Amino acid sequence: MRPVAAFLIGGLFGLGLLIGGMTDTDRVQNWLDIFGAWDPTLAFVMGGAILPMAVAWRVAAARGRAGGAAALGGPLPEPRDYRPIDRDLVTGSALFGVGWALVGLCPGPSVAVLGFGGWPAWLFLAAMAAGMAGARFLRRGLPDPDPVCG
Amino acid sequence: MDPWLAGFAGGLIIGIAAAAFLLVNGRVLGVSGVLGGIVDGSGRGSLGESIALLAGMALVPAIAAAIAGGTETGLTANPVLLVLGGLAVGLGTRLAFGCTSGHGVCGVARLSRRGLTATVTFVGAGFVTMALLRGVLGVI
């Protein structure tokens, strides 16, 4: 049941990326071009996405405090930072921002575009996977035992 | 549709999907975390679920694009840009443990200090990169 739910949720997420224009690299690059042809659309995508998620965190926190679990079982992630603000967070995010501007794709849209982006989409994915594999050798702290994002 | 309205509607759908992943599967929907967990083996315990999420994320937009008769993507065909950009995004998001979805949406939605720090940093770095490479040098 978990993979079925994940597949449907992934599909919904991908559809949102497509409708919001996140798979259009011109639009993304124009959003980053504040001194040029600035396109504010992505701020609306971000705002729209944050609203349901803010509600979900409140529900998860309340449910977690009451000892509840996720609908398909297992613990609910706690609404707290699992790691400190460290150098890896800042240098990593800065590096990510540079790559985001170079091509106009971040990880979600890079997956959503695979079916219609042609070979450049697959080349970008391969390079991204290689970068991800290399990260463990550059991390200053210990390898992460818990793959929670955030 | 007005692109701002389409953006907001797309954003709501993204947020509803992320909310469902949290409450139904009990996981934070961060795409770099899901992908990175598959690549470096740290997500071994939830491999099937992660692959299913990514499969849906790739398949449904492909079908929607086919029905719509193709969709616009301005993706560059310059292999140097694609490889450098991909490496930077992959390495950066895994050092930071999050990208636009994990930090930008899920983290900012609960006003996480790490999420806010990451988001301000990657958007800022994107602004600076674009200003230099497009505004000053005119190369992208």
The tally of domains found in chain B comes to 1
Cβ B88–A99 below 8 Å, yes or no?
A: yes
Tell me the pLDDT tens digit for each residue of A78-111: 999 988 999 999 999 999 999 999 999 999 999 9
Do A39 and A30 contact (CB within 8 A), yes or no?
yes
Average pLDDT over residues B52-81: 94
- pLDDT of amino acid B44: 87
Q: What is the pTM of this model?
A: 0.95
Do A98 and B87 contact (CB within 8 A), yes or no?
no
Tell me the pLDDT tens digit for each residue of B58-67: 999 999 999 9
Q: Which residues of A touch B114 (CB under 8 A)?
A: 81, 83, 85, 89, 150
Average pLDDT over residues B46-60: 97
Domain span at residue B70 reads 3-136
Cβ B109–A121 below 8 Å, yes or no?
A: no
CA–CA distance, A26 with A54 (Å, rounded to integer): 29
User: How far is B132 from chain A, CA to nearest CA, in Å?
Assistant: 10
Tell me the pLDDT tens digit for each residue of A38-90: 999 999 999 999 999 999 999 999 999 999 999 999 999 999 998 899 999 99
- pLDDT of amino acid A130: 98
Q: What's the complex ipTM?
A: 0.96
User: How far is B120 from chain A, CA to nearest CA, in Å?
Assistant: 9
Do B25 and A72 contact (CB within 8 A), yes or no?
yes
- pLDDT of amino acid A139: 80
Do B28 and B109 contact (CB within 8 A), yes or no?
no
Going by pLDDT thresholds of 50, 70 and 90, the confidence category of residue A136 is: confident
